[in-house]
Amino acid sequence: MSTIVNPILRGFNPDPSVCRVGDDYYIATSTFEWFPGVQIHHSRDLVNWRLLTHPLTRKSQLDMQGDIDSGGVWAPCLTYDNGTFYLIYTDVKSRIGAYKDTHNYLVTATNIEGPWSEPIFLNSSGFDPSLFHDDDGRKWLVNMLWDSRKGNNKFAGIVLQEYSVEEQRLVGPVKNIFKGTELKLTEGPHLYKRNGYYYLLTAEGGTQYNHAVTMARSLTIDGVYEVDPFNPILTSAERPELALQKAGHASIVDTPAGEWYMVHLCGRPVKDKFCNLGRETAIQRCEWTEDGWFRLAGGSRYPELHVQAPDLPPHPFESPAEKDDFDAPQLNVHWSTLRIPAEPDWLSLEERPGYLRLRGMESMISMHRQSLVARRQQSFRCEAETCLEFEPDYFQQMAGLIMYYDTKDYIYLRVTHDENLGPCLNILQSKDGVYDELLEQDISLQGNRYRLKVAIDRETAQFYYNDTAQDAGECEWKAVGGPIDITHLSDDFPAYIRFTGTFVGMCAQDLSGTRKHADFDYFIYRELD
């Protein structure tokens, strides 16, 4: 029997929603302010997974320009019924303080790879919406209810309302069906039905180190819901020795042979409690008890790193190429842009064939129009390398290699122009919004073609450059400064809560507004463990 090694979706892939269609399994995860919206991974054996597609590819489906850090797409729910895929998602516009502006939408497709429909607005009463298809043909939406009133429980429970396919809107009364348990912070609801019971799976305890999965059941869809006496059915709270921390926010699925699994959110600290890879997705083998409760196989409530795989034929996928030469007419599926789609007015793969051309736009703190293309860091030890051709005229024009968490936290090996040095290099760092330049003096550069690299080893990063080699084989790397502590590129660094993960990529800024372009010849992302 083969073994599943957790996490199955490494790096920033939180809030998993799993769906089986025949012999195919799909997991949808949150993308927050990164575009395109929602990652969908595919598997046929629950062991091997590939990033397949993103359903939200148009601004008409997802307009995030101006969305705050860790806003955007929260907790998608992917389901399938009668030949149609249904994807529910939240676009969060504000989240800090008493109020949260959380708009919930539905898109559909008959093929998982699209095309996906224009969105149907559902409600804005809370986040983490989920659609349930009952066996009588009716469809029901559940979401957590946000209560902004002073003195009230902000996580006010799980509300239920019917969805009409014919009218393409929610209809009928709204009912609060579950107020949660003593774990509090009740969110992430999913409904299931088995042997006459409706099962309500929720996340509780908050999406950090007290996270947990709660199960409750009822003979009617609108309650009253009885909590599993063994609750929580999954958590890593107060177990710091576990490899998988923050276990919670789950979704369940069965195989054609009746084996059951639960996918769930987790985090892996690199140092202390810093999770630089963000919140990831793991899977656990499960079973139903004789009295009808859903539990981890073996009776534990704690996540395991190695899990027995189902009795399915192995179905491995080809590993993604380490090097992207930018020869395709579109960005590959692993690239993301920040808040805005990759449109020809700022990004081109055709103006100079074999190069990614970025036109400089706003600064690294902008929540509107950044010219930034990046991919997830998915390994504790990895390298990222690019080759940049750039001829800046002013200090306001910059381009280079960036490690990016959000507008407050990034580390940027940038090329710019200095009145005395000409083209030059420095490392810019923002740490909890405090800007710094890590070298006392910019490094003067030769020519206009520069190779840039970062080597990441858990909580540290070392940058390198070369400005003389024309071919990669000739390149002798020169260190830029010393090792940099990168623990601030994590969910766990600031006083406030945030939800994404570290990206590595390429960007260009032109703060003069002339949109000076930078050309990137290739990008290498190489994992070392």
Closest CA to 148 of 124, 164, 167: 124
Phi, psi of 402, rounded to the nearest 5 degrees: -130, 140
Q: Is residue 471 among the annotated active site residues?
A: no
Closest CA to 390 of 514, 518, 522, 506: 518
Q: Which of 15, 204, 228, 510 is flagged as catalytic?
A: 15
> To the nearest 5 percent, what fractions of the chain are helix, strand and coil?
0, 50, 50
> For tokens 């390398």, what's the residue?
385
Q: Which of 45, 187, 259, 519 is flagged as catalytic?
A: 187
Rg of the chain's alpha carbons, rounded to an integer? 24
Provide CB contacts within 8 A for 172, sequence distance 6+. Answer: 161, 162
Question: Quick one: three-class SS letters along 147-161?
Answer: CCCCCCCCEEEEEEE
CA-CA distances (angstroms) from residue 257 to 8, 135, 311?
A: 21, 20, 8
> For tokens 């083969």, what's the residue?
2
Quote the CA–CA distance of 80 and 395 in Å, as a whole number. Answer: 52
* Segments of 268-322 assigned E as strands: 280-288, 294-296, 306-308
Closest CA to 76 of 249, 278, 234: 249
Closest CA to 522 of 336, 320, 326: 326
Q: Is residue 187 among the annotated active site residues?
A: yes
Is the distance from CB of 131 to CB of 87 less than 8 angstroms? Answer: no
Provide CB contacts within 8 A for 63, sequence distance 6+. Answer: 91
Is the distance from CB of 286 to CB of 260 less than 8 angstroms? Answer: yes
Closest CA to 489 of 472, 475, 505, 501: 501
Quote the CA–CA distance of 481 and 438 in Å, as a whole number. Answer: 8
Catalytic residue numbers read: 15, 187
